[in-house]
Structure 1
Amino acid sequence: MACFLSPLLYLYGYNTEKRLICPVRFSQVLEFEILRKSEKQTTGGVFVQLLKYILIAGFLVGLFIGIQFLMVVWNQEDQLFFETTISEQHQDEAAENAAIEEIRLTTADQEELHGWLRHPVDAADEPMPLLLYFGGNAEEKTQAALSHDWIEGYRIAFINYRGYGLSSGSPGENELFADSELIFDRLVERDDVSEDQVVSFGRSMGSAPATHLATARDLAGTILAAPYDSRVRVQEHRHPWLPIGPFIRHPFEVSTMAEEIGSPLLILTGTDDQVIPPEHSAVTADSWQGEVTANQYEGFGHNDMQMHPDYQGDIQAFLDELQ
C-alpha cells in the first residue's frame, strides 16, 4: 500500500522510507510547476506583443504610403501647374517697350491666350525667323519677354499658358499641345514672319509643347533646356515606392515624340539638376532622330542653368546655324 501510494505521498512531502513529512520537497515541486507555466505564458506574451508591434508598424507604413500616393495622384494639377499672375510692373514695362508687341489669340474653345512678341531692335517689317518660347511650370512669360533681349535675328513669341498671366482657362497636356499649334498657325500668317524658319524653344515643362509642335508642324529646329524624357518616369524616379505610373494625367512623353522628329535639336542640361535629372534628358537626346547638339553645364542645376557663361552663346550659335 505504501508502494502504491508512495508517488502521491512523495508529491505531498511524505517520505515512505523514513515516514516523515517533507515540506521542502513539496514546495520545490510546486515552484517548478509554477515556473514552467509562467515561462509558457511569458513566451506567448512576447510573441503576441511582437505581432502587435508588427501590425501597428505595417499600418503606419501603409498609411504613409497611402497619403503619399494621394498627394501625388490626387493633386497633380496643383503640383504641376503654378498659374502665376502677371506683375503690374512687368506688364507696364513690356507695354512701354518699343521692341515688344502685345499679342492676344482666341482658341477654338473661346479661351484667350495673352502674351508678347519681341522684335529685334530696329527690325524692319520684312519676314524674319520666329522663335516660339515655352517656359516652365511656374513661369509667367512677361519677365522672359523683357529679359531675352540678347537673342539676335529672330522675333520671339512669349505666349502664356492657359491660366497664366492674363490668359484665361485651365492648363493641361492636351491644351498645351493644341495651343502650341494655334500659336504657330496664327503667327506664321503675319507678313513679318518667315514660315519656313520657325524654331521652338522649351524649358522644363515647356519641353513637352515645344517637342509636340516639332511633330505637328515643319520646324527649322528645336531647343530644349532641362527637358523631360517623360513626366511619368520623372515621377517614378521621385517616388520609387509608389505605383503611380498609370495614374499620371499629364504624362508629357517627350522622348517618345522625339522618335518622330528629324529636324536639328540643341539640348541643354545641368549636372546638378535635381528636378529633371540629366539622365532623363539624355533619353530624349538619344531618341531624337535629327542632328543633336548636347551641351551639359557642370555644377549648374535646374533653376540656374541660364546663369552659365556659355548658355546664351550656345543658343545664339545654334540659331545662327539654322538660318
Structure 2
Amino acid sequence: MELLIVVVALVGLMAVVRLFMPRIVPFFVFYPETLQPHETHPRYWGFPQATEVRIPTEDGIELHAWWFPADPPEGRGTAIYFHGNAGHLGDRGTVAAALSNLGLDVLLPDYRGYGASEGKPSEEGLYADARAAYRWLVDERGVDPERLLPLGNSLGSSVAAELAVSRPVAGVVLLGPFTDTAAIARHRLSWLPDWYLDWVHNRFDTLERALRLEVPTFVAAGEEDRVIPPGQSREVFEALQGPRRWLEIPGAGHNDIFSHEALWRELHRFTRDVLSSGLHDDSVSP
C-alpha cells in the first residue's frame, strides 16, 4: 500500500511538472548573463576597432550589439553572428574579430535578455531579434542581402537557419547545430519518458528549417562534442536542399570549435566562394 502511494505521488508530481513545462523549459534552454553599464563598450573587452549599436525590434525591445568592420576592408560581404544559449556578446568578441579578419563586416547582437539587451528570451523572441538585426543591416546600412551571411553556433544555428528561410541571404553557416531542443533533452535526460520531453515551446526545430533551406550552407561539428552529438549535426546537414558543405573536426568539442584551424580554413573558403557567387554544386569537405 505504501509503495502504491509513493507511485501515485510520483506520477502526480510528474503530471504537475508537465503542466508547468512551458514555464520550466526556458530555464533549461536559456542561460543569459547581463553586462554592467561600464562593460557594454567593446573597448572594455579589448576590441577598440568595434563600435556599439542599438537595434529596435518589431515588438519594442532594444537590442545591444557590436559592429566589427572588415579588416582588411575587402568589401567581401557581411556576417551576422548568432551566439549560443549562455553568456553574452563579450564572450564572443574574439570570434567576431576573427570573422572580420576574413574580410567580412560583422554584426554581433545579443539576444533579448542577454548582456545589455532588453526583454526576456524566448524562441519567437530570438527569431524577432534576428529579423531586427537583418532590417538594421539591410534598411539602415544598405547591405545587399545577396552579400549577407548569417552564422550561428549551437542555439544560434537554429536562429540563423530560421532567418535564412524567412529572408533573402547569400548563404548560411551552422556550427554545432542540433535537430531540436527536445532531442537534446532526450540525449541528456534519457531516463525520462518521451512524452515528458516532447517540448512544444522553445523547440528550435533546426531540422524542419533545414528541409526548407535552399541557399548554400556550411555545417560543421566537433567530433568530440559531448553537448550536441555530431550525429544530430549530420542529420541537419543531410536534410539540406541546396548546395552544402560538411566538416567534422577531429578532436574538437562543443565549446572549443573556434580554436581549430580546420574550421577557419573552411570558413574562409566557404565565405569566399558564396560571396563571390562561386558555390553552385554540392560539396562535402573531407
Which TM-score bucket, shorter chain as reference? 0.7 to 0.9
Which residue does 2:274 correspond to in 1?
322
Which residue does 1:229 correspond to in 2?
179
Q: Return the match for 1:200 from 146, 150, 159.
A: 150
Which residue does 2:89 correspond to in 1?
141
Q: Return the match for 1:105 from 41, 55, 58.
A: 55
Q: Is residue 2:170 matched to residue 1:220?
A: yes
SS in 2 for 1:99: coil
Q: Which moved more, 1:198-207 or 1:185-194?
A: 185-194
Superposition pairs for residues 264-275 of structure 1, below 5 Å? 264-275=216-227
Which residue does 2:98 correspond to in 1?
150
Higher relative contact order (CA 8 A, sep 6+): 2
Task: Identify if the C-alpha distance between structure 1 residues 85 and 191 changes in structure 2 by more than 3 Å, giving closer, same or farther.
Answer: closer
Which residue does 1:302 correspond to in 2?
254
What letter matches 1:284 in structure 2?
A: V
Q: For residues 156-208 of structure 1, give each alpha carbon's deviation from its aligned partner in whole angstroms, at most 9, with x where no partner exists.
A: 11010001111001111111112211211221234563331101101111011
Which residue does 2:211 correspond to in 1?
259
CA distance in 2, matches of 1:279, 1:188: 35
Q: Is residue 2:237 matched to residue 1:285?
A: yes
Q: Percent identity?
A: 25
SS in 1 for 2:204: coil
CA distance in 1, matches of 2:141, 2:4: 71
Q: Which moved more, 1:305-314 or 1:139-148?
A: 139-148
CA distance in 2, matches of 1:94, 1:132: 21
Q: Is residue 2:208 matched to residue 1:244?
A: no
Q: Which moved more, 1:219-228 or 1:55-64?
A: 55-64
Q: Return the match for 1:79 from 21, 28, 32.
A: 28
What letter matches 1:118 in structure 2?
A: F
Gaps of 5+ in 2: 276-286
Task: Identify if the C-alpha distance between structure 1 residues 79 and 220 changes in structure 2 by more than 3 Å, giving closer, same or farther.
Answer: same
Tell me the C-alpha RMSD between the 2 structures. Answer: 2.7
- Count of residue correspondences: 270
User: 1:145 Cα deviation (Å)?
Assistant: 2.6
Which residue does 1:187 correspond to in 2?
137
> TM-score, normalised on structure 2?
0.83
SS in 2 for 1:255: helix
CA distance in 1, matches of 2:4, 2:117: 51
Gaps of 5+ in 1: 1-51
Which residue does 1:114 correspond to in 2?
64
CA distance in 2, matches of 1:98, 1:58: 60
CA distance in 2, matches of 1:102, 1:114: 7
SS in 2 for 1:174: helix
User: 1:76 Cα deviation (Å)?
Assistant: 1.3
User: 1:64 Cα deviation (Å)?
Assistant: 8.3
CA distance in 2, matches of 1:97, 1:308: 22
Give the number of the structure whose alpha-carbon radius of gyration is greater. Answer: 1
